[in-house]
Amino acid sequence: MTHGTSHDLSSSRSRVVFLHGFLSSAEVVSKFFLNERSIRVTKASVKDFDSAYDHVTERLVLVPCRGKETHGVILEGASSLTINRISEVYRGESCELNSQLDDGRRKRVLCFNVIDHVQKIDLGVGPSEKLAIDILERYLFDNPTCAPYSRDRRWKGAMLHCLQRVMRKEEKSTGESLSLPEQAIEIEPIFRGYLSVDDLKMRVEGLGLPEREVRRSVASWGDMVFVLPYDPASRRVLLIKQFRPGKFMRENGPALCVGPIGGRRDREEAIAETVKREALEEAGLEIQRLHGLPGYYTSPGLSTEHVFGFIGEANLAGAGGTYGLKWEGEETNAFAVSLNEAMQLVANGDVETSHGLISLLYLAHHEE
């Protein structure tokens, strides 16, 4: 689907920026963009485009939609720093479109993430305005100069931190007390970024020992979802080979790991949607049906991470190739092998991830 309105995808010198979605709310504008006295804010709209949220890239986009009118605000007189901040938050390329002000005037404006082909993206519901404000606060606090070298990691770190904070508030609001013999008496934040680390002080009683206080550091970075694609017609599975910094750090050398498709689950995203998104990102594959595996904690003595695993039925004819999100620095090599060949990889020690071992051993035992 291509929109008829032409727009210049080249770099623009325009200092008039159009904000849409939750970024156009009065609270966001007043909090982040009105610290400059020279800036002017005016209500405006862009015709024949709709504001949406792309689940794959986790960003706001403008998509062509004939007859639709996206309302927002335009900023004029913003400094280069403010425009850079806006660019970092939208996290995408810019182009120019025509906007219309409430008084009928028309103005050429800079818009970010204008998508020509809707089929390239997975549209969904973005974060609530309140959650978005929390994320922006965290992001801009950690990254006041908006250095571009790690903008995506910083944004995701801010998002995970805020989602975890919301989750803790929701757990407290249930009114359920912590069950003894364990009870947290102090939680001290140590680090906030792509992952969060807290120092946890607990009162523990049990296993024949007297009540005592223990202190542990616990890491949190959300939950993980993985899927092992399996073609029952050919008895083949699809695996991916991917660089893993943890293995690189430990071995100080080649760090490619073999395993199933997997990734972080966004808390506001259904687990099945995460599976679908990750399969497309990492292998260009559509999963037809899911069979759930027992969930588990990867390292409950250190981390809150919980893993949701699946065997996913798929047509693996012609499957394989190089995939991954370039903007995230991700590259995956997908390849299909017979189940017998996959089990030989396990026997040879070539599958070094827990979700790889668990999914293949589970499938071998429950294939029928």
Please report which confidence band the pLDDT of residue 152 belongs to, taking 50, 70 and 90 as the band edges.
very low
For residues 24 and 71, is the Cβ–Cβ distance under 8 A? Answer: yes
- For residues 86 and 141, the answer to whether their CB atoms sit within 8 Å is no
What's 176's DSSP letter?
Answer: P
| Residue 263 near residue 291 (C-beta atoms within 8 A) | no
- Alpha-carbon torsion, ordered 34, 40, 45, 46, to 10 deg: -100
Cβ–Cβ < 8 Å for 282, 229: no
194-206: b (≥16 Cβ within 10 Å) or e = bbbbbeeebbeee
Cis peptide before 181 (omega within 30 of 0): yes
Cα-Cα-Cα-Cα dihedral sign, residues 54, 60, 66, 71: positive
316's CB contacts (< 8 A; 6+ apart) are: 229, 231, 234, 236, 237, 238, 285, 336
Out of 158-172, 273-287, 347-361, give the one with best mean pLDDT: 347-361
pLDDT at 116 over 90: no
Which string of b and e fits 262-272 if b means at least 16 CB within 10 Å? bbbbbbebeeb
Mean pLDDT rounded to a whole number for the chain: 76
- pLDDT interval class at 345 (50, 70, 90): very high
Q: What is the per-residue pLDDT for 336?
A: 95
> DSSP letter string over 76-115?
ES--HHHHHHHHHHHTS-EEEEEEEETTS-EEEEEEE-B-
Mean pLDDT, rounded, for 19-40 = 73
When comparing pLDDT for 185 and 316, which is higher? 316
pLDDT band at 157 (very low <50, low <70, confident <90, very high): low
Using DSSP's 3-state secondary structure scheme, residue 64 falls into strand
Q: Which of 56-60, 137-141, 233-237 has the lowest mean pLDDT?
A: 137-141
The better pLDDT of the pair 33, 305 is held by 305
In this structure, of 29-43, 47-61, 114-128, the range with the lowest mean pLDDT score is 114-128
With 60 as the cut, is the pLDDT of residue 214 above it?
yes
Residue 19 has a pLDDT of 87
pLDDT digits (tens, 9 = 90+) for 304-322: 888 999 999 999 999 988 8
Is the pLDDT assigned to residue 228 strictly greater than 60? yes
SS3 347: helix
- 301 pLDDT band, cuts 50/70/90, is confident
What is the CA angle 301-303-305, rounded to 5? Answer: 125
Task: Give the model's pLDDT for residue 200.
Answer: 79
